[in-house]
Amino acid sequence: MKPLALLSVSDKTGLLDLARELSTTYNFQLISSGGTAKALKAAELEVTKVSDYTGAPEILGGRVKTLHPRIHGGILARLELPEHQQDLADNEIQPIRIVVVNLYPFEETIAKPNVTLEDAIENIDIGGPTLIRASAKNYTHVAVLSSPSQYPEFLAELKANNGETTLEFRKKLAIAAFQHTQAYDTAIAKYLGGDLIAEEPVSSEDKPLNTISSSYTLLCNNPKPLRYGENPHQPAIWYQVGATPKGWSAAQQLQGKELSFNNLLDLEAARSIVAEFGDDQPCAVIIKHNNPCGVAIAPTISEAYQKAFEADSTSAFGGIVALNRPIDEETAQLLNKTFLECVVAPACVPSVAAIFSKKQNLRVLVLSDLKHGSHETVKTIAGGMLVQRSDDEIVQPETWKVVTQKQPTTEQLQELVFAWKVSRHVKSNAIAITKDLTTIGIGAGQMNRVGSAKIALEQAGERAQGAFLASDGFFPFDDSVRTAAAAGIIAIVQPGGSMRDADSIKAADELGLIMVFTGIRHFLH
């Protein structure tokens, strides 16, 4: 008699490949319900409907399908107990060895505009969490898969163990399952209680500028141990936030070593910068130690990467690259010319696989949505944590104020916007110097702004002639203005707001500079 695998999923990502392997390679009998059964039959896979297996029809419009003793008896049976074995035999119940379930998309439903309470309630899964919890409880005998992201590792486990799973692996799946249902129930409770923190993209117009939720629950799932944290002596774990994989949890890694703690931090820093520039123009970002060392916009993605690399080729060695366009062959060839840790893009043309295969350790990732990140940031402190709105307001140059006699042209304003967008992703005190929509000097993380300016200008060197400077905070004195002008800077963008703004403006007018105040500062600690 074939072993049983129950499949009942809302998210059908990877379903057919998994089902085909279970059925053809490992000889499992598939039982399924509703849309999952239809999808399997459409793929010409042999499947038994749950209603046929139980002898009980689906009722209440599909609300009750799997809540039946033949299903839950098969999942919960402790096969080492003779009395359980007897109950199974008396009731013609087969043990169910594998349960593949993911839940109705509750979070996605409530994120939709104008969602009704009735719609939300209809997307509260009942049978799914029951199946998941029952399977996880009996992990001694049952393997439970609660997310499509687990399928590749599960199939590798079957292959390594001749179609079986180890107790340790099943326990790992059970822990993830309980965390999944916990996060799911928490999201429901917070929604019904009117205190859900939205995790889906929300436009800046929809977010109050001076408020943040008064309670914050971390909905952590699928813990994935990392080799170590920032340093080898620090243990680290990567958690998925929310019940549904999104962001880096949803990224596809095409090749390379496992992602590290520092890789993930730098990838997010790179993603946040390319997100600034949307899809309007090809943009390339190179990150090193959580700071940009090269950012550029160009007509093609290969040109953008080359410009970003040449901005600071020394720091780019061992860097993290993010691109807002699919990687083509020309760009892949350029990326292969130096040692890089990671590359991420929204897609890759198929032919680049052979090119990247020459750099087996290079981590190549595809993340279709590079635009959206978390709308809150969290930092832990002794005895608690700090939560704030992310610094992701849309840059609005029409609200800026030109404070000098000299006015920027349209092209010069475009360059100032570019420099300003980069500066808010540089650790404070931050100075970004740009030219031709490319960074040429970055001063980051210094204890005073003069020091950051000097570092950025020294890096820019002769390229600073005719360049543009952005400062994430105001200039407390006019010394940095004069230093910038002496190096060849022709325009400065800064928040303004210093008691000595008049001194900086006077110096800029005296030296023939353009200076623009944004009225917003962008400290990044």
Helices (H), 312-448: 313-316, 329-335, 352-356, 410-423
Q: Is 50 helix (H, G, I), strand (E, B) or coil?
A: helix
Q: For this structure, is 137 an active site residue?
A: yes
Nearest to 316 by CA among 332, 347, 337, 344: 337
C-alpha dihedral (391, 343, 327, 283), degrees to nearest 10: 30
Kindly provide the residue ranges of all beta strands, DSSP E only, lying in 258-404, ordered along the sequence: 283-288, 291-297, 319-323, 340-345, 363-366, 376-381, 384-389, 401-402
Neighbours of 239 (CB within 10 A): 13
Q: Which two tokens stand for residue 23?
A: 């059925």
For the chain, the first-to-last Cα distance in angstroms comes to 62
Cα–Cα dist 132/75, whole Å: 10
Contact 474, 500 (CB under 8 A): no
Which amino acid belongs to residue 203?
S
Residues sharing a CB contact under 8 Å with residue 382, sequence separation 6 or more, in sequence order: none
Catalytic residue (choose from 190, 289, 372, 406): 289
What CA–CA distances, in Å, run from 92 to 51, 54, 55, 88, 358?
A: 15, 10, 12, 6, 56
Nearest to 10 by CA among 253, 220, 243: 243
> What residues act catalytically?
137, 289
